[in-house]
């Protein structure tokens, strides 16, 4: 969950600047062994009126989805 939150936060930071997590929803799709390498990817879908919506995924080396999350952030002024 922490890796997803960090990925989402960096996506929001690069899109609109500093923001804090207001809501996060994560879905764990399959086990993630500790001895594997993973790729994290985050995007901002919508940003308006100080509210930012973002989506993040974790995939394994074969491209299979391990986990994903959606979040809402409030922009810091």
Which tens digits make up the pLDDT trace of 29-74?
999 999 999 999 999 999 898 899 999 999 999 999 999 999 999 9
How many H-runs (helices) and E-runs (strands) does the chain carry?
A: 1, 4
Find all residues with CB under 8 Å of 63, minimum gap 6, and list them: none
Query: 3-state DSSP call for residue 13?
Result: helix
Tell me the residue range of the domain where 20 lies.
2-75
pLDDT value, residue 55:
98
Q: How many domains does the chain have?
A: 1
Q: Are 68 and 32 in contact (CB under 8 A)?
A: no
Read off the pTM.
Answer: 0.90
Q: What CATH number does residue 42 fall under?
A: 3.10.129.10
pLDDT value, residue 77:
75
Query: 3-state DSSP call for residue 44?
Result: strand
What span, in angstroms and rounded, lies between the C-alpha atoms of 37 and 28? 17
pLDDT value, residue 7:
96
pLDDT value, residue 1:
74
């Amino acid at each position: 969950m922490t890796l997803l939150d960090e990925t989402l936060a960096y996506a929001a930071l690069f899109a609109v600047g500093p923001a804090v997590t207001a809501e996060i929803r994560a879905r764990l799709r399959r086990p993630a062994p500790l001895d594997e390498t993973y790729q994290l990817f985050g995007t901002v879908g919508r940003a308006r009126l100080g509210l930012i919506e973002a989506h993040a995924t974790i995939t394994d080396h074969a491209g299979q989805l391990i986990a994903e999350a959606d979040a809402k952030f409030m922009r810091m002024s």
